[in-house]
């Protein structure tokens, strides 16, 4: 069964909009795990507009499943994730101030840089994943730099799912199959939701983990957090 990691950035966004500590990010992380989530994802950005650096340090001892930290591998980011001993680090090519992730790494152009970063993380016993578009040549590049996993950037799939879902899933199936053949694990994330998640999982049997935040937290406004997590877990069965 594909594992569900809940991205709690949006909880921090709501908290930061008023200051103080409501909603409490740490308590939400604890509850997500209690309700069945198999991981917690955070994406601390340099402007701290949602998850703050202090949140990362406070969350680590509370996450008994898996703490996945996403971010651009700047020196301060790498220092933080190594200090907290993240279970998994997902490297994304976001620029400072970027609203949200909108493309994957060019593993060919950035081969030397990524290889050095990944080696440094793995020396500290941190599993690495890199955010990529579903292209076989990019997956080949990921294998050359020895990343443990890739995270397929799924916004194009989500965008085209209701237009032609067979066509939308095709490049992701191909990329995941190729990754499996060359020994690279496959995660996925971005704009996955209750409508499109099950179809992806049915068609990508080697999918190890999905990271879902925006849609899941939005659904929780209607269904409640516990019921929402159960709905997403049902999609993954």
Strand segments, DSSP code E, in 52-178 are 67-71, 88-91, 127-132, 149-153
Q: How far apart are CA 83 and CA 57, in angstroms?
A: 9
The rounded distance, in Å, linking the Cα atoms of 125 and 138 is 24
DSSP annotation of 61 reads G
Which candidate in 66, 70, 151, 209 is catalytic? 70
- Please give the Cα distance from 15 to 13 (Å, whole number): 5
- Of 50, 178, 190, 209, the active-site residue reads 190
Q: Which tokens go with 186?
A: 């496959």
* Nearest Cα residue to 84 out of 125, 27, 48, 49: 125
Q: Is 103 marked active-site?
A: no
CA 229, CA 216: separation in Å to the nearest integer? 8
Reply yes or no on whether 135 is catalytic: no
Q: Is 190 an active-site residue?
A: yes
Residues with catalytic roles: 43, 70, 190
């Amino acid at each position: 069964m594909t594992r569900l990691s809940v991205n709690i950035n949006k909880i921090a966004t709501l908290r930061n909009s008023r200051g103080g500590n409501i909603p409490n990010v740490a308590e939400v992380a604890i509850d997500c795990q209690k309700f069945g989530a198999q991981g917690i994802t955070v994406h601390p950005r340099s402007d701290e507009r949602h998850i703050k650096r202090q949140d990362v340090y406070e969350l680590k001892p509370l996450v008994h499943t898996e703490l996945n930290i996403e971010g651009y591998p700047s020196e301060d980011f790498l220092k933080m994730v190594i200090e907290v001993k993240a279970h998994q680090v997902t490297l994304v090519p976001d620029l400072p101030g970027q609203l949200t992730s909108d493309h994957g790494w060019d593993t060919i152009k950035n081969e030397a840089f990524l290889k050095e970063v990944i080696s440094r993380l793995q020396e500290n016993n941190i599993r690495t994943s890199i955010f990529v578009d579903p292209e076989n040549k990019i997956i080949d590049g990921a294998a050359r730099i020895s990343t443990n996993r890739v995270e397929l950037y799924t916004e194009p799939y989500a965008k085209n799912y209701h237009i032609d879902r067979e066509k939308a899933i095709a490049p992701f199936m191909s990329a995941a199959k190729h990754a499996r053949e060359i020994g690279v694990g496959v995660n996925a994330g971005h704009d996955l939701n209750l409508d499109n998640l099950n179809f992806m999982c049915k068609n990508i049997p080697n999918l190890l983990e999905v990271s879902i935040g925006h849609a899941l937290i939005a659904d929780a406004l209607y269904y409640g957090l516990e019921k929402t997590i159960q709905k997403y877990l049902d999609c993954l069965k």
